[in-house]
Amino acid sequence: MGAHDFVNCGFDEADVIVCVGYDMVEYHPRLWHQGRDKKIVHIDVSPAEVDENYVLEVGVVGDIAQSLDAITERAEPVDTRAVKALRDTIRDELEGHAADRSFPLKPQKIVWDLRQVLADEDIVISDVGAHKMWIARMYQAEAPNTCIISNGFASMGIALPGVIAARRLHPDRKAVAVCGDAGFMMNSQELETALRLDLDLVVLIWRDDKYGLIEWHQNRKFGRTSHIGFTNPDFVKFAESFGARGYRVESAGELVPVLEQALGDGTVSVIDCPVDYSENMKLTEQLGNLHLRI
């Protein structure tokens, strides 16, 4: 969202920034290194592209994994609590909606509940939409490649094909596609593919009957919205028409048991979960006023 979030607070106070596999195209250093007062270590398979905001203290060129292993052998751990205030703030936000009973569910509550029912090695594939912002901010990935988010070109419709691939690659793990209603409908026909392949997976739809991320951007820029609403099918009947299981969350307390049921179905399950995206603009206001010393 181009806002000053928790990660930026870490950059503000850092004296050294280690950039692993970093490319300026993703997030230009003028956005996080305006003061040009940090020491930068660049680790990648190719030399760094430098500019006035990206002058290296050290450049490590070589295979990333081998480079990190070599650095680890030479580095010594430092017992420090310099970022404790930042860590505590993030933890408090994550836990702040654990007991929220409002309905439709707030994005923070959905992310919290999803994290509670999945093991560390289970996989979440996020589609593109307003929910992607909340997954990116709040879903705590405990192992590599367990939270996959379409970034860069950010193509809607990735989650369902993505979770099919995840289950094919890792049949021993649970996998959940997190979709907005619009992103799901762009590739919903892949339910047939998942069923034909006899896969066990869950599709969690955050339903708001709108293009939620476009609504968010319109409200931020214009203070109003235009042409972002649409009509959805009955997702339970839609899933059942393919031969999948269909569930509808009708209260805040239902999401965890519904997720647990769906994850244990042994087949393709689709969950219709209404979401309250009024939290989006509250987040915009919160980030606009965020000043955290660590």
The fraction of the chain above a pLDDT of 90, given in percent, is 71
Angle value at C-alpha 126, between 241 and 233, nearest 5 degrees: 30
Average of per-residue pLDDT across 124-136: 94
Evaluate if residue 230 carries a pLDDT over 60.
Answer: yes
Burial class of residue 76, CB neighbours in 10 A (0-12, 13-18, 19+): exposed
Evaluate if residue 251 carries a pLDDT over 70.
Answer: yes
Burial class of residue 24, CB neighbours in 10 A (0-12, 13-18, 19+): middle
> Rounded to an integer, what distance in angstroms lies between the CA atom of residue 131 and that of residue 182?
11
As a whole number of angstroms, the longest Cα–Cα distance in the chain is 60
Strand ordering across the sheet containing 16-20: 16-20, 39-44, 58-61
Average of per-residue pLDDT across 66-77: 93
Identify whether the C-beta of residue 160 lies closer than 8 Å to the C-beta of residue 177.
yes
pTM assigned to the model? 0.85
Encode pLDDT of 83-98 as tens digits: 777 778 888 888 989 9
Identify whether the C-beta of residue 293 lies closer than 8 Å to the C-beta of residue 13.
yes
Give 114 or 76, the one with higher predicted confidence: 114
Please tell me the predicted confidence (pLDDT) of residue 257: 98
CA quadruple 1, 221, 155, 141: dihedral, nearest 10: 20
For 142-196, what is the HEC assignment?
CCCCCEEECCCCCCCCCHHHHHHHHHHHCCCCCEEEEEEHHHHHHCCCHHHHHHH
Please tell me the predicted confidence (pLDDT) of residue 260: 98
> Rounded to an integer, what distance in angstroms lies between the CA atom of residue 144 and that of residue 217?
31
Band (222; pLDDT cuts 50, 70, 90): very high
Beta bridge partners of 203: 177, 270
**Selection from 167, 168, 160, 155 nearest residue 190 by Cα:** 160
Encode pLDDT of 165-183 as tens digits: 999 999 999 999 999 999 9
* Candidate from 2-6, 31-35, 71-75, 211-215 with smallest mean pLDDT: 2-6
Average of per-residue pLDDT across 265-294: 84
**What domains sit in the chain, N to C, each tagged with a CATH number?**
6-74 (3.40.50.1220), 94-283 (3.40.50.970)
Cβ density class 81-117: b for 16+ within 10 Å, e for less = eeeeebeebbeeebeebeebeebbbbbbbbbbbbbeb
